[in-house]
Amino acid sequence: MRKLKTLLFLLVMATSVAFAQDKNITGHISESGTDEPLPGVSIVIKGTTVGTVTDLDGNYNLTVPADAETLVFSFIGMETIERAITSDVINVLMGDDAVAVEEVMVVAYGVAKKESFTGSATSINNEKLKSNSSVESVDKALAGKVSGVRISSTNGDPGSAGEVQIRGVGSMNASTQPLYVIDGVPMETGDFGHAERSSNLLATMNPDDIETMTVLKDAAAASLYGSRAANGVIIITTKKGKEGKTQFNFKAEHGISELATNSFEMMSGSQYEQWVHDGFANEYLAKQGVFNPSSPNYGNRDAHMNEANAYANGASGAYINTPGHSTDYRDIVYGNGSSMDYQFSASGGNEKTNFYAGAGYNKVNGMVLGTDFERISGRVNLNHKANNWFSFGVNQSVSNTTQNGKRDQSAQEQGIGTTSPLGILFQMNPTAPAYLADGSYNPDATNPYSRAPHPEVGLGGTGRERETLTTTTFRYLATTYAQADITDDLMFKTTVGVDHSNIDSKEFWSPYSLNGMNYNGYLNMQGYNNTSITNSNILSYTKTLNEKHNINAIGGMEVQAQTYQFKGMTMQNMPTDKLDEASLGTPTKSDSQTDVAKLVSYLSSFNYNYDNRYYASASLRADGSSRLASDNRWGQFWSVSGSWRISQENFMADATWVDDLKVRSSYGTNGTLPPGYYDYMSYYFLTGSINGGPGYFPGNLGNDELTWEKSKNFNVGVDFSFLSRFNATVEYYNKYTDDLIIEFPTSWVNNGFGSYVGNAGSIINSGVEFQFNANIIDKGDWRWDVGFNVTKQKAIVDQLPNNEDIVTGDGGMYIYREGESMYSFYLPEWAGVDSQTGLGTWYKEDGSTTTNINEAERRVVGKAVPDFMGSVNTGLKFKNWELSALVTYSFGGEMFNYPGYFSHHDGLRAGNFTPESTASDYWQQPGDDAKNPIPVFGGMLGGTDVTGSYYRSDQFSSRHILSTDHIRLKELRIGYTLPKQMLTKAGFSDVTVYFVGGNLLTWTKEDNIEPEVPLNGYRTADTPAARTYTLGVNLSF
- Residue 845, interface with other proteins (CB under 8 A)? no
> Which secondary-structure segment (H or E) carries 637?
strand 634-645
- Residue 219, interface with other proteins (CB under 8 A)? no
Among 688, 780, 819, 987, which residue sits at the site for other proteins (rule: CB under 8 A)?
688
Among 262, 550, 573, 1008, which residue sits at the site for other proteins (rule: CB under 8 A)?
573
Residues from 701 through 720 that contact other proteins (CB under 8 A): 701
Q: Cβ of residue 554: shortest distance to other proteins, in angstroms?
A: 14
- Residue 941, interface with other proteins (CB under 8 A)? yes
- Residue 650, interface with other proteins (CB under 8 A)? no
Q: Which stretch binds other proteins (CB under 8 A): 110-118, 699-707, 981-989, 1004-1012?
A: 699-707
- Residue 750, interface with other proteins (CB under 8 A)? yes
Q: Is 640 helix (H, G, I), strand (E, B) or coil?
A: strand
Among 746, 835, 836, 924, which residue sits at the site for other proteins (rule: CB under 8 A)?
746
**318 with 273: CB under 8 angstroms?**
no
CA-CA distance, 681 to 742, in Å (whole number)?
16
Q: Which amino acid is at 536?
A: S
Output DSSP code: residue 690: B
- Residue 520, interface with other proteins (CB under 8 A)? yes
- Cβ atoms within 10 Å, residue 560: 21
Among 21, 24, 80, 687, which residue sits at the site for other proteins (rule: CB under 8 A)?
687
**56 with 66: CB under 8 angstroms?**
no
Q: Which stretch binds other proteins (CB under 8 A): 359-367, 575-583, 683-691, 986-994?
A: 683-691
CA-CA distance, 404 to 79, in Å (whole number)?
48
Q: Cβ of residue 758: shortest distance to other proteins, in angstroms?
A: 9
CA dist list (Å): 247 to 286, 506, 810, 821, 1035: 77, 41, 54, 51, 10
CA-CA distance, 216 to 424, in Å (whole number)?
43
Q: Are strands 233-238 and 179-182 parallel, antiparallel or unpaired?
A: parallel
Q: Which stretch binds other proteins (CB under 8 A): 682-690, 779-787, 820-828, 829-837?
A: 682-690
CA-CA distance, 45 to 947, in Å (whole number)?
97
Among 24, 630, 724, 835, which residue sits at the site for other proteins (rule: CB under 8 A)?
630
Q: Cβ of residue 484: shortest distance to other proteins, in angstroms?
A: 7
Q: Cβ of residue 43: shortest distance to other proteins, in angstroms?
A: 41
Q: Which stretch binds other proteins (CB under 8 A): 70-78, 219-227, 259-267, 936-944?
A: 936-944
- Residue 386, interface with other proteins (CB under 8 A)? no
Among 70, 751, 835, 848, which residue sits at the site for other proteins (rule: CB under 8 A)?
751
Q: Are strands 23-31 and 92-94 parallel, antiparallel or unpaired?
A: parallel
| Residue closer to other proteins, measured from CB, 246 or 537 | 537
- Residue 452, interface with other proteins (CB under 8 A)? no
**276 with 447: CB under 8 angstroms?**
no
Residues from 489 through 518 that contact other proteins (CB under 8 A): 492, 494
CA–chain centroid gap for 212, Å, is 16
CA-CA distance, 181 to 179, in Å (whole number)?
7
> Which secondary-structure segment (H or E) carries 946?
helix 944-947
Q: Cβ of residue 940: shortest distance to other proteins, in angstroms?
A: 4
CA dist list (Å): 915 to 308, 423, 925: 22, 12, 20
The three-state (H, E, C) secondary structure of 312-352, written as one string: HHHHHCCCCCCCCCCCCCHHHHECCEEEEEEEEEEEEECCC
Q: Which stretch binds other proteins (CB under 8 A): 743-751, 765-773, 824-832, 970-978?
A: 743-751
| Residue closer to other proteins, measured from CB, 91 or 518 | 518
Number of residues that bind other proteins (CB under 8 A): 66
Q: Cβ of residue 666: shortest distance to other proteins, in angstroms?
A: 29
Q: Cβ of residue 737: shortest distance to other proteins, in angstroms?
A: 24
Q: Which stretch binds other proteins (CB under 8 A): 73-81, 546-554, 747-755, 831-839?
A: 747-755
- Residue 636, interface with other proteins (CB under 8 A)? no
**605 with 590: CB under 8 angstroms?**
no
Among 67, 488, 684, 846, which residue sits at the site for other proteins (rule: CB under 8 A)?
684
**Phi, psi for residue 487 in degrees, rounded to 5:** -130, -175
Output DSSP code: residue 268: P
Q: Cβ of residue 807: shortest distance to other proteins, in angstroms?
A: 9
- Residue 588, interface with other proteins (CB under 8 A)? yes
Beta-bridge mates of residue 744: 756
Among 441, 678, 732, 788, which residue sits at the site for other proteins (rule: CB under 8 A)?
678
DSSP for 547-597, please give it.
Answer: TTEEEEEEEEEEEEEEEEEEEEEEEE----SS---GGGSEEEEEEEEEEEE
> Which secondary-structure segment (H or E) carries 600?
strand 586-610
- Residue 318, interface with other proteins (CB under 8 A)? no
Among 610, 697, 878, 1003, which residue sits at the site for other proteins (rule: CB under 8 A)?
697
- Residue 685, interface with other proteins (CB under 8 A)? yes
Residues from 810 through 829 that contact other proteins (CB under 8 A): 812
Q: Is 877 helix (H, G, I), strand (E, B) or coil?
A: strand
- Residue 624, interface with other proteins (CB under 8 A)? yes
Q: At what angle do helices 269-287 and 301-316 cross, to 10 degrees?
A: 130
| Residue closer to other proteins, measured from CB, 626 or 775 | 626
Comparing C-alpha atoms, which of 77, 86, 65 is closest to residue 40?
77
Q: Is 160 helix (H, G, I), strand (E, B) or coil?
A: coil
- Residue 532, interface with other proteins (CB under 8 A)? no
- Residue 389, interface with other proteins (CB under 8 A)? yes
The three-state (H, E, C) secondary structure of 401-434, written as one string: EEEEECCCCCCCCCCCCCCCHHHHHHHECCCCCC
- Cβ atoms within 10 Å, residue 813: 23
| Residue closer to other proteins, measured from CB, 336 or 636 | 636
Q: Cβ of residue 462: shortest distance to other proteins, in angstroms?
A: 24
Among 65, 95, 448, 694, which residue sits at the site for other proteins (rule: CB under 8 A)?
694
- Residue 633, interface with other proteins (CB under 8 A)? yes
Residues from 600 through 619 that contact other proteins (CB under 8 A): 600, 602
> Which secondary-structure segment (H or E) carries 42?
strand 42-45
Q: Which stretch binds other proteins (CB under 8 A): 43-51, 146-154, 198-206, 626-634?
A: 626-634
Comparing C-alpha atoms, which of 674, 530, 706 is closest to residue 230?
674
- Residue 537, interface with other proteins (CB under 8 A)? yes
Q: Which stretch binds other proteins (CB under 8 A): 175-183, 372-380, 649-657, 937-945?
A: 937-945
Length of the chain, in residues: 1037
Q: Which stretch binds other proteins (CB under 8 A): 215-223, 344-352, 691-699, 716-724?
A: 691-699
**190 with 201: CB under 8 angstroms?**
yes
Q: Cβ of residue 886: shortest distance to other proteins, in angstroms?
A: 45
Comparing C-alpha atoms, which of 787, 672, 667, 655 is closest to residue 725?
787
CA-CA distance, 632 to 139, in Å (whole number)?
34
- Residue 88, interface with other proteins (CB under 8 A)? no
- Residue 693, interface with other proteins (CB under 8 A)? yes
- Residues whose CB falls within 8 Å of the CB of residue 280, separated by 6 or more in sequence, listed in order: 308, 311, 312, 315, 316, 937
- Residue 677, interface with other proteins (CB under 8 A)? yes
Q: Is 285 helix (H, G, I), strand (E, B) or coil?
A: helix
Among 1, 4, 411, 686, which residue sits at the site for other proteins (rule: CB under 8 A)?
686
- Residue 698, interface with other proteins (CB under 8 A)? yes
The three-point CA angle 378-210-541 to 5° equals: 115
Binding site for other proteins (CB under 8 A): 389, 484, 486, 492, 494, 519-520, 537, 557, 559, 572-573, 588-589, 593-598, 600, 602, 624-626, 630, 633, 677-678, 681-701, 744-754, 756, 812, 940-942
